[in-house]
Amino acid sequence: MNRLFLSSVVSSMYLYSEGLQSFNDVVITATKTENSAKELTTAVQIISVEQIENSGASNLSEILSSVAGVYINPSGSTYRIRGMEHADTLILIDGRRVNGEFSKIFELERIAADMIERVEILKGTSSLLYGSDAMGGVINIITKKATKDKLRGSIQVIGGEYKRSADFIVSKKFKDTSFTLFTNYINRDSYSKDKVANIKIMHSGVEKSPSNSTLPATGNYGTLASALSDSYSVNNDYLYNLEVKNIGTKISHNLNDAISLYFDFSYLEEEKDGEYISDSYATAYAGGSGNIMTKYVPAHQYNKNKRLDIASGLDYFINDNMHLNYNIAYSRYKKDRKSYTPLYSQLGYSSYEASAFSVNESVIKYLNNNLQFTHTISENNRYILGAEHRINDTTSTAFNVNNRTYTSFFAQHEYDILKNLKLIYGARYDKTSIDEDEVSFSFGGVYRLTNNLFLKANYSEGFRSPDDRELYVDQTTPTGKKKLGAEVIDSSHGKTSQYKLKSEKSKSFEVGLLADFDIADFEINAYQTDVDDRISEVTYSNYTSFENISDTKIRGVESALSFSPLEDFYIDMSFAYVDAKNEIENKELVEIPKSIAGLTLKYKLTKSVELKTITKYVGEQYSSDEVKLGGYTITNLKLNVTNIMKDTDFFVGVDNIFDKQMDDYLGLIPQSNFYAGIKYKF
């Protein structure tokens, strides 16, 4: 075994190929060992550095939005793989868990595109290797690292009608030491639509307009009603203003031929704000048992977030067949969220700042320890043993929670039982400090029918432990609703007992066929995932909470075809169909498109000029109030010119070229908009 190659693999030094995705690409995320995509028993999608650079994307969200098998709704409020919730998808950076929002939504917009070497997307349950939160799959973002002895780097600037970004990366590899330094800046304008806020004052449990004559004419109600108009115009933001700053470094050092060390550091600052209409807003006026409440009030939300990540690790090649890897990672995430109202004076507050509500000031700390031993008995026989220990320490105005610990052990065996048949199977045990014990199994095989055809099948089990938000949250949301965790008691809002949340559990089975030819690649997969004890947010008269209320069944088929019918002309097609139902109520699950299709056309006009279109169709889906929403199609166009000057690339593009829109429930897509960028490489 080539130690240098394996070392680069373990530390996420991935190879990539030009053109469309190749099934010969080396994938690590799926098995934590090196395998080509066609040797895996599960479906994996690779987004190469070339695809990223040609996409015109400024962040990860924009990259994934063009992937047909992944659904990100236009407002960015949810994303799904194979119809599973975003909470079921684990996000990794260089193989490590990401610390941040419980919703995970913000994360997609924080990672600059130019710092990404490749993205590996595992579709389907991946709890064997990754534990909780991986029932729906894994998104592993592999960042760029030094590969050349000379000082190398790039500077990229993108400017457009709604977005701007700047990226700088430099790296060098010495005899035994290599380093990479990166920094980037992302700025995006809000995208909004005018709406009318029809103000209501709550009186005796009834919503009343300020001009309603049945409201008391004197006292606090009279003062409030006389100060408010019945309606206000609001510039409602569907995409918030965004500013992200990142800086980081990666250093690795070979002590000798057998031992190497690495150290990673990164720091992020993010500001995000936008206007909206709050469902409920407390006034400063007393009335009855508490302050007088209003509804449908204009509000402005501000988020200021910071994250520090430090990681270090050791690779030890005991001999040519045995490898030991240990890494420790610390992450500190600080969140500061507040909402205010421009109607602060009318609601009785002395200042804009005094009207603050839905305050969330949190500090979330992770400390992860991971140990993995890999033994390659022979070319066709390999196993890995792993252990993980994680401590979560949360301090928050929105939570009242003690530290939580997670301990797990796993084993996986890869074995070519026959010349043409490879098996991959294993088991995992997880224990948490909230008295949960989970055991997960996975078993799969891939059979080589011919040198170009591969038949695969896989069964896997997964789970997701309830998170701190679902267990312990106690806050007023930005929309004005009281949200209480399952274990929180708040008699003032009517919650008088605790609810014992159970972990969600899944069983997933898939079969697939993969064809790898010189002129074309084709893949089709069919799958079924059953989830028991699905955790859902439930609404009561005065609050919302979390309970295990449903079992779900998700069935689907997905296919992809890549081919080149003419020299310098490439076509990439994909289609996914999902049937997702609540088994108890026999209803369609909401916000899951029935079908998603993608078409990418790429034509090299000359050796240095390339024209590319990306079209994505999102089919019908149901809203939360069981209304069927129509589908929509978005097409983006991009022109790339490499070496327009020495070591300088230039690109221009138009997003949403046909100016398509969709139902307001899903959000708004910016109208047809132009951007341009330039990249200098040295």
Per-residue pLDDT reduced to its tens digit, 100-127: 776 666 677 788 888 899 999 999 899 9
Q: How many Å apart are CA 178 and CA 597, to the nearest integer?
A: 42
pTM over the 0.75 mark: yes
β-strands 504-516, 453-464 pairing? antiparallel
Q: Is 272 within 8 Å of 311 (Cβ atoms)?
A: no
Among 132, 105, 147, 123, smallest CA distance to 41 is for: 123
Task: Give the CA count within 13 Å in the CB-facing half-sphere of 81.
Answer: 25
Residue 103 pLDDT: 62
Tokens 């081919």 sit on residue: 563
Residue 105 pLDDT: 64
CB atoms within 10 A of CB 292: 21
The two tokens of residue 94 are 């260089």
Q: How many Å apart are CA 297 and CA 295, to the nearest integer?
A: 6
pLDDT tens digits along 263-321: 999 999 999 999 999 999 999 999 877 899 999 999 999 999 999 999 999 999 999 99
Residues of the chain with pLDDT > 70, as a percent, come to: 95
The two tokens of residue 98 are 């990401």
The two tokens of residue 4 are 């240098």
Q: How many Å apart are CA 15 and CA 36, to the nearest integer?
A: 11
Residue 229 pLDDT: 97
CATH code that applies to domain 3-333+347-412+419-681: 2.40.170.20
Residue 289 pLDDT: 76
**CA 121, chain centre distance (Å):** 11
Q: Is 380 within 8 Å of 416 (Cβ atoms)?
A: yes
Dihedral, 541, 545, 304, 668 alpha carbons, nearest 10: -70
Residues of the chain with pLDDT under 70: 1-22, 68-69, 75-77, 102-106, 625
Residue 400 pLDDT: 75
